[in-house]
Structure 1
Amino acid sequence: MPSTLPDGDPVPASGELSESALAVLGERPFGFYVHVPFCVTRCGYCDFNTYTASELGPGASQRDYADTAVEEVRLARRVLGEADLPVSTIFFGGGTPTLLPADDLGRILAAIDAEFGIAPGAEVTTEANPESVDPAYLETLRSRGFNRVSFGMQSAREHVLKVLDRHHTPGRAAQAVREAHEAGFEHVNLDLIYSTPGESDDDWRASLEAAIAAGPDHVSAYALIVEEGTRLAARIKRGELPMPDDDAAADRYLMADELLSQAGFTWYEVSNWATSQEARCAHNLLYWTGGDWWGVGPGAHSHVGGTRWWNVKHPAAYARRLAEGSSPAHAREELSGDDREVERLMLELRLDTGYPLADVKPSVRTAVASALGDGLLETEAFKRGRMVLTLRGRLLADALIRDLA
């Protein structure tokens, strides 16, 4: 599978960072993202860096992956030096992390703790497909230190799951939530996707109602994006399926906010709702509020002190680099002050806390006033010096951010 990673500056074999990046270590929260790039089958809409068994080729295996990931954790410690960096959030994503034995995920987590120390009360999440876990697996995860799990439910309708090439039965996600609670997980998320070709309003309502009834304390709902190069994109291009409709997507978002709000969930990011402050995803908040993190795994991205880098994509190339004692980083970039401010605006404006008016560039103040007049920003928050999106503003967030960036 050819690399589609962006170009950037070369990375030394040691992975060393600039003195300016290292100088600010510890000023922001620090987390780890661990990418597990394996899937049983490839979902038709997915363009993530994942590999089925037939795509791996020589030089990479699920069996050895935990050992390789541990080597990158040790590399991270060498690169970041002796700075005191207690890890406040850890997120295992993929792919399907739970295709690895639970003990393997536990060994990677233990290595992070041994090298950096996991802060008291840290959030430790893994993604999981509902069919990739059972009660014993979840109990082992919980005993190894995981305290949050995120299940890819996507839909409660079988024909919608079929279009997405998802293979779990519609009721399995709710059962997995119950099993997670029984294993001791207090925090459980369900991921949903709306505007799949062939999905009706009734289908989406049924999915929302099923998700709420399952009893998670967090729900993420994302509009389906048709990515070039995916099987779904090819089917739409051939005319087998219709392109998702933007107006229908807006209606589905409004339905999600209505039903979730009625059930006691509160939005805190455009696509995320939680039942309490404690239920919010601390790891994603670290991303959205400018924290530092080290990304472990093929294709994983990292950010430390204004330096961003990304690893080689293929698991075999990734394993080979680490076996040779070299950094698996493909390339990196130093973000300018302007770049960081644009990213800050893009991320913070999507949050319920919003973006400070005092930091708005003079050149876009007219656009800000127009957004307020058009009902895209909350009036009371504006009076307090913050730009916070209204419900209508959330629907138009991407366009508004482009206007203000």
Structure 2
Amino acid sequence: MLFDIVHTSGTVVYFIFVILFWWMSRVPRTDPGAGWWACALLSMASARLLLFALEGIATPRTVTLTYAAFICLEKVLFVLGLIRFLKLGIRDRWIFGPAALMGLWTGVAWLTPASLSAYSIGLTAFNAAALAFAAACCLRQRHAVSGRLILVTALVSGVLALHWTTFPLAFFQAHWRIIGLAIGSALSLVLYLSLLANVLQQLQHRLLDAEAHALELAYYDPLTGLNNQNYLGKLFEQALLLATRPHHFVAVFYIDLDNFKPINDSAGHRTGDEVLKAVARRLKACTRSTDISARIGGDEFIVVATQLEQNAQIDLIARKLLARLSEDITIEGAAYTLGASIGISLYPAHGTSLTALIEAADAAMYQVKYHGKHGYAIHGRDGPRSAEAASAA
């Protein structure tokens, strides 16, 4: 009665795990180990069903050898799945070789009247070796697999390998057949539960990485790494919180690069992209940690300077930006010279929304373009200042 309970419950749980691993294997880009483990569990469940179906019909020898053949197949599939999950790069023939020898050993036991207790020695050695090998692989790759769950798999594999060494006792002590089966079933379930947890954890990391990548695409310019226009609005709202103090204000610098189009057309888009990356690095170097730098178009950038206290700081920042953007940019041994036309608007003098401030700064920038480029202008002030005049100030 106890044997039937252990056997039936174990078989049902194995089939549940088969469905779970098969379902996991159907998820796109899931590690292929899940599919192999589904097949391994199917082999183990089949062994249990045959053990129950053949009981009382076939000879004990036939029942034992049939059960052993499916259990050995389960270990082969288990190890093959683990090799793929851990990305060990071990050739399958190193696994199929010992499996073929075990199959030959089973065939000899089936065709000859050799004692089953003698056969059990080879069966024990094969299963214990497969589980010990799995434990060693998990320990070796514990740093390559995120999380500590793989250590659980290593531990249970090692314990199950030790448990297999007691298998021959079933031929000498009848009560050990039920006890050993119950212990082996419990350890096997824990083993595959740990594998399932590893697969789920891998999927979780994939989802988190995909989410982080999606957020990066949503908030950052993929070429320069600066904030993009979508994220600029949220950052600006945060900047306004810092500008609510009576003596603080915010300045928006609308930067349009001069002479970028000829470089892009003559040297190619790849060189143009490298120039834009260099510009982004210079903008980061010219601004403080509390300021905001963003790319909003092909060669158009926004710098939001926060926590300003004096109007003189605006001219200082503008001159600094012009000086850095006027320096030659060297790409693959060739030097390229840019300039910049910068329009500036102030919060709250020229608007209380980012859209209004960008429009005001854009209008000031076009004043600079109209008067010969390479300078800066503050919205509402008399005329732009050229780079030469700015450097002389």
Shorter-chain TM-score bucket reads under 0.3
Q: Which has the higher strand share?
A: 1
Q: Which has the higher helix share?
A: 2
TM-score where L is the length of structure 2: 0.18
Higher Cα Rg: structure 1 or 2? 2
Higher relative contact order by CA 8 Å / sep ≥ 6: 1 or 2?
1
